């Protein structure tokens, strides 16, 4: 398993904010110490503006450079545009590796799936999943799917990919919950809202249903928005998944036999490193 990361993503924070550097630093330590998974470390690729502009407007990129907070829970930081670009670069490097037949996970912050074409929101500045899917299409793949299992609806990814030929988006998410979207499906968008406090077996069943729906489209690649905030211990969701359940999600993707590239989205529990390791073990071992 190749882990794409960069310690520079630890270089910004808002005190008391759940999207904190320890999400990455503690996971890196966990992966360095564990013996169950053979890990190779890699670094983000450089990102040209033209790749970002497939998903975002020029005004959005310019807004990232302004030293003004975006939302009450999404602040500006020195070089936040650079941090967001490196997060995209890690996802694109993971794409390179996946297209070479390797298994790769982008372990970076900030996350991205709430960033719309022209709006920063929900801790997200640039939408790595959508940018990666569009880059895969630009490289000649005819059918690319995005599978989002974060507890929050990937509204930004939906906004960017809705109606885009050759792309498909499926999201399993809690509703009601932030950002309050994701109740309707149509065209290339498949939403699976689930109520708070759904049992883990029922939640996993919906996850499998959504993956099966994506597989009906015969994707050549699955871009995974891997959010771990449906965990029982997560402060931002009200779901019940545990380590074994995240391993099952990884195993389901492995058993699909479709190449996939995984990108870290949410997950704010102190147990996040365990959940990520379990997911990667399922993805790696089948």
**Angle between helices 128-138 and 80-99 in degrees, nearest 10:** 40
Distance CA 24, CA 108 (A): 7
**Residue 228's closest CA among 187, 280, 170, 168?**
280
DSSP notation for the chain: -EEE--GGGGS---TT-SS-THHHHHHHHHHHH-SSS--EEE-PPP--HHHHTTTS-HHHHHHTTSSS-SBTTB---TTHHHHHHHHHHHHHHHHHHHHTT--EEE--SS--TT--SS--BTTBSS-HHHHHHHHHHHTT-S-EEEEE-SSS--HHHHHHHTT-TTEEEEEEEESS-TT------BTTEEEEEE-TT--HHHHHHHHHHHHHHHHTT--SEEEEEE--TTBTT-TT----B-HHHHHHHHHHHHHHT--EEEEE----STTHHHHHHHHHHHHHH-
Give yes or no: 114 in active site.
Answer: yes
The catalytic position among 56, 60, 113, 114 is 114
Distance CA 58, CA 121 (A): 17
Distance CA 104, CA 2 (A): 5
Catalytic machinery residues: 114
């Amino acid at each position: 398993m190749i882990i794409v990361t960069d310690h520079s993503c630890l270089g910004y924070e808002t005190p008391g904010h759940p999207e904190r550097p320890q999400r990455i630093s503690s996971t890196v330590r966990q992966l360095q110490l564990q013996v169950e998974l053979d890990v190779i470390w890699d670094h983000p690729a450089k990102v040209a503006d033209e790749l970002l502009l497939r998903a975002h407007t020029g005004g959005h990129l310019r807004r990232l450079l302004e030293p003004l907070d975006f939302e009450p829970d999404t602040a500006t930081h020195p070089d936040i545009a650079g941090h967001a670009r490196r997060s995209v670069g890690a996802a694109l490097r993971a794409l390179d590796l996946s297209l070479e037949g390797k298994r790769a996970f982008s372990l970076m912050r900030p996350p991205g799936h709430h960033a719309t074409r022209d709006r920063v929101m929900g801790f997200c500045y640039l939408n790595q999943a959508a940018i990666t899917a569009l880059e895969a299409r630009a490289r000649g793949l005819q059918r690319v799917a995005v599978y989002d299992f974060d507890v929050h609806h990937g509204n930004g990814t939906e906004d960017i990919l809705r109606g885009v030929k050759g792309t498909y988006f499926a999201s399993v998410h809690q509703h009601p919950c932030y950002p309050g979207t994701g109740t309707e499906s149509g065209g290339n968008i498949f939403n699976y809202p689930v109520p708070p406090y759904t049992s883990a077996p029922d939640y996993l069943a919906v996850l499998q249903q959504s993956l099966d729906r994506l597989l009906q489209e015969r994707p050549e690649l699955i871009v995974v928005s891997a959010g771990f905030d449906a965990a029982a211990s997560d402060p931002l969701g009200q779901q019940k998944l545990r380590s074994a359940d995240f391993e099952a999600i990884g195993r389901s993707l492995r058993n699909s036999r479709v190449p996939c590239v995984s990108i870290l989205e949410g997950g704010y529990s102190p147990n996040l490193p365990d959940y990520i390791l379990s997911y990667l073990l399922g993805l790696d071992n089948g």
